[in-house]
Amino acid sequence: MGEPTGRTGPPQLLHYRPWKGVFRPPFVSVWPIARTGLALLLRRRMFWGLYALGLMVFLLFFFGLYLLAWFETQLGQARVMIGLVPVRPGDLVDLLAFHLHLDGSAETYSNYIYYQGYVVMIVLALAGSVLVGNDFRYGALPFYLSKPLSRRHYLLGKGLAVAAFINLTTTLPALVLFVEYAFVYSWDSFIRNGYLILGILGYGAVLTAVLTPILLATAVCVVRTVPLIMAWTTLFLLCRLLATALVVGLHFDPIWRLMDLWNDAWLVGGACLRIEPDAVEGVQPAWGAAAVVLGGVSLACLSYLALRLRAVEIVR
Amino acid sequence: MDAAPPLIELDRLSRWYGSQPALRDVTVRLPPGRIGLLGPNGAGKSTLLKILLGLLPPSSGSGRILGLDLGRSGVELRRAVGYMPEADALVPGLRGAEYVALAGELYGMPPREARRRAHEVLTYLELEDARYRRLEEYSTGMKQRLKLAQALVHDPPVLLLDEPTSGLDPSGRDAMLRLLLTLGREHGKSVLLSTHLLGDVERVCETVLIVHQGRVLLYGGVDEVRARRQDRYRLQIQGDEETFHDSLRLEGVRILHHNGRGELRVAVPAGWQTGSFFALAQRSGVLLRGLLPDDEDLEELFHRTLASNGAAPDTEKDRRYG
């Protein structure tokens, strides 16, 4: 056995010292995976424009609620002149309250999450390749899976990152709006409308349970960003247009709306918030049917993910 | 073959993919140290590595690595072993220190310890200046060292290295091999080196394990297996070559190579006495100016082992490197 020789020399052994410590159980590895995923999302400067857009939606609702309360208490039925136009603040309040439902009702939070959903969808479409697609594209999976954790832990970690992002942009701000309403109007809102907290959490859970597996599955399937955006657009935009065309344009049975997954999530979320079916715009299928469709799609995505991950060769 | 508790102990271990055997009745007992795993493509090296990492259970037979049961201790196995994959396996967007710290956390280290240890290991591997650089900006040599760092971060007793010098230039390769030697000699790490580069095994490893078609063709100490073949000599003569060649052939000596300028390599029959060369030279009227035993290098040994088992290297890579 010869000795290696060379003028460049080896790396000098500077500070190697043994490590003695207690290892933590494998499920703890889920958090570093999720944290890394979130960190990668937050590092993309391009996404910050979208985060700002999401913040604007939140601020619209936040200050909308505040302003309405202020108008109601401060101006009453008085008229104010804006230029030459006399405006009754009460009418403005009614208008905003009617269209945006800035009245602390279930619709307020449902609408907030619905509008915020557009931003979430765009970010997720762009983030899929960063979170998961790149692991497949650049062969990072052996890095994760050769560690003392299973494929399930890897999937949970990535799912947790997506779930954290969804809930940080929808559920958490919606809860802040709920608390704000109670502060601005009356403290007993916490008790009277306490069910809304569960409704908001339920809506967030529905979005998480639906969007997370769909995003992971599409990211694993198409890997790159542009095809992922196309797949995402097809799923959530073209299907929506098609469903609307069929039901509204061609008067097909409302059950065809079930192909619109975002609408399905909205229906089930509305049920969580106990929104009366009459209040749901247009002719809609039952929320139960929407829940079944969403559950089926999620299961199909999870099955696909399990198959794809099982096929990954850690040692090639 | 060694009194020390074995590092790897496989007992009639087999693995089948459907009806296709990948490993058949593998029985070896490898001591701690630096072990080279050799074999042509499809020999069963990857399957063996998967089993050693606890990623794949054996179909039959049993095995232990560091006393851990290969069939049942997947998590413990992967914690005891640092695996350096052949592919890049980098997470784009991360920085070097983050990548190694993440590996530490995935091995189960507490976050703070993982971060501290990541810096230490990167410094040790002379990547301290590149710690905060994005992984996409690393050169091939740096990537290889980074992959070693992530395998070393939790200070495992065993390193499983899959082609660690792949893609490195000669100086990078030399540095990596020296590093592996030092890890083995000075820090007591056992190293299982899976590679096509026989020179790497020869320079780093004490033990070699050659597998082919799922079977172990040969295993033992590198020097020991090379020494098994003491039947070759290099001769240098002056005088009538043809007469000397004929005399050798008559005695059953095979002439492997001659350059027409008096230098030849020969293989002698069993029981050959070295002094016989002088007697033959005298009888043929030539002057024997040089006589050296011609130990096989590992490449020759590998090819001969495969050839004696009816196998030929099956890819261009194998033809070049064995």
Per-residue pLDDT tens over the stretch B230-257: 578 889 999 889 999 999 999 989 888 8
Q: Band the pLDDT of B24: cuts 50, 70, 90.
A: very high
Contact criterion met (CB < 8 Å) for A23 and B109: yes
Q: Band the pLDDT of B316: cuts 50, 70, 90.
A: very low
**Nearest 5°: phi and psi at A220?**
-70, -35
- How close, in Å, is residue B322 to chain A by CA atoms? 18
Is pLDDT of B322 > 80?
A: no
The token duo for A73 is 């208490």
Segments of chain A with pLDDT less than 70: 1-15, 75-77, 277-282
Contact criterion met (CB < 8 Å) for B109 and A21: yes
Least confident residue range of B89-93, B256-260, B300-304: B300-304
Contact criterion met (CB < 8 Å) for A17 and B86: no
Put simply, whether A4 touches B (Cβ < 8 Å) is: yes
- Residue pLDDT, tens place only, B182-204: 999 988 999 999 987 888 888 89
Mean pLDDT in residue range B216-241: 81
Determine the straight-line distance between the first and last CA of chain A, rounded to whole angstroms: 28
Pair type for strands B60-65 and B81-84: unpaired
Name A156's Cβ contacts closer than 8 Å, sequence gap at least 6: A30, A33
Q: Band the pLDDT of B91: cuts 50, 70, 90.
A: very high
Coil, helix or strand at residue B221:
strand
Taking each helix axis from N to C terminus, what angle separates A287-310 and A151-169, rounded to the nearest 10 degrees?
140
Mutate to test the interface with A, among B37, B106, B179, B299 (most CBs of A within 10 A): B106
- Residue pLDDT, tens place only, B49-69: 989 988 888 999 999 999 899
Contact criterion met (CB < 8 Å) for B108 and A43: no
Contact criterion met (CB < 8 Å) for A10 and B86: no
Mean pLDDT in residue range B140-160: 94
Average pLDDT along chain B: 86
Which domains, and CATH codes, for chain B?
A: 8-226 (3.40.50.300), 230-293 (3.30.70.100)
Name B180's Cβ contacts closer than 8 Å, sequence gap at least 6: B34, B159, B161, B164, B191, B193, B204
Put simply, whether A42 touches B (Cβ < 8 Å) is: no
* Rounded CA separation A257/A239 (Å): 9
The token duo for A259 is 């192909």
Q: What percent of chain B has pLDDT over 90?
A: 50
Determine the residue type at A120.
V
- Cβ-nearest to B179 among A11, A17, A140: A11
- B91 contacts on A by Cβ (under 8 Å): 36, 134-135, 138, 140, 143
- A33 contacts on B by Cβ (under 8 Å): 106
DSSP string covering A98-125, please?
HHT--SSSHHHHHHHHHHHHHHHHHHHH
Confidence (pLDDT) at B296: 63
Name the residue with higher pLDDT: A185 or B296: A185
Pair type for strands B68-69 and B60-65: antiparallel
- Residue pLDDT, tens place only, A179-216: 998 888 878 888 888 899 999 999 999 999 999 999 99
Is pLDDT of B321 > 60?
A: no
Mean pLDDT in residue range B127-135: 93
Q: Give strand ranges (E) for chain A.
A: 80-82, 85-87
Mutate to test the interface with A, among B50, B66, B79, B91 (most CBs of A within 10 A): B91
* Rounded CA separation B8/B149 (Å): 23
Name B141's Cβ contacts closer than 8 Å, sequence gap at least 6: B168, B169, B172, B175, B176
Query: In the sheet that B68-69 helps form, which strands lie side by side, from edge to edge?
Result: B20-30, B8-17, B60-65, B68-69
Host H or E run for residue A245: none
10 Å CB burial of residue A283 (0-12, 13-18, 19+) is exposed
- A40 contacts on B by Cβ (under 8 Å): 93-94
- Residue pLDDT, tens place only, B262-276: 899 898 887 888 889
Alpha-carbon dihedral B282, B287, B290, B293, rounded to 10 degrees: -20
* Stated length of chain A: 316
Put simply, whether A73 touches B (Cβ < 8 Å) is: no
Contact criterion met (CB < 8 Å) for B182 and A143: no
Residue among A30, A48, A182, A198 nearest A122 (CA): A48
pTM for the complete prediction?
0.82
Contact criterion met (CB < 8 Å) for A4 and B179: no
* Rounded CA separation B159/B191 (Å): 5
Asked if residue B28 lies in contact with residue B8, where contact means CB atoms within 8 angstroms, the answer is yes
- Cβ-nearest to A23 among B88, B107, B203: B107
Contact criterion met (CB < 8 Å) for A1 and B179: no
Confidence (pLDDT) at A8: 53
Task: List the single residue in A with minimal CA-CA distance to B98.
Answer: A36
Confidence (pLDDT) at B220: 86
